[in-house]
Amino acid sequence: MAGMDINEIMEYLPHRYPFLLVDRVLEVVPGQTITALKNVSMNEEFFQGHFPRHPVMPGVLIIEALAQAAALLTFKTEDTKPDGKIVTYFVGIDKARFRSPVFPGDQLMLHAKLLRQSYRVWKFATQATVNGQVVTEAELLCTEKVLEA
Count CA atoms closer than 13 A to 119's CA, side-chain side. Answer: 3
Mean pLDDT of 65-80: 94
Mean pLDDT of 96-117: 98
What's the confidence (pLDDT) of residue 148?
80
Burial string for 82-102 (b: 16+ CB within 10 Å, else e) reads eeeeeebeeeebeebebeebb
Domains and their CATH numbers in the chain: 6-146 (3.10.129.10)
pTM: 0.95
State the Cα–Cα distance between residues 1 and 10, nearest whole angstrom: 18
What's the confidence (pLDDT) of residue 122?
96
Q: Is 119 a residue whose pLDDT tops 80? A: yes
Q: pLDDT band at 120, cuts 50/70/90?
A: confident
State the Cα–Cα distance between residues 20 and 145, nearest whole angstrom: 21
Burial string for 8-38 (b: 16+ CB within 10 Å, else e) reads ebeebbeeeeeebbbbbbeebeeeebbbbbb
pLDDT per residue over 9-31, tens digit each? 999 998 999 999 999 999 999 99
Q: Is 147 a residue whose pLDDT tops 90? A: no
As annotated, the active-site residues are: 50
Count CA atoms closer than 13 A to 80's CA, side-chain side. Answer: 8
Q: Average per-residue pLDDT in the chain?
A: 94
State the Cα–Cα distance between residues 92 and 87, nearest whole angstrom: 16
Angstrom distances, CA of residue 119 to CA of 47, 111, 116: 39, 23, 10
Q: pLDDT band at 149, cuts 50/70/90?
A: low
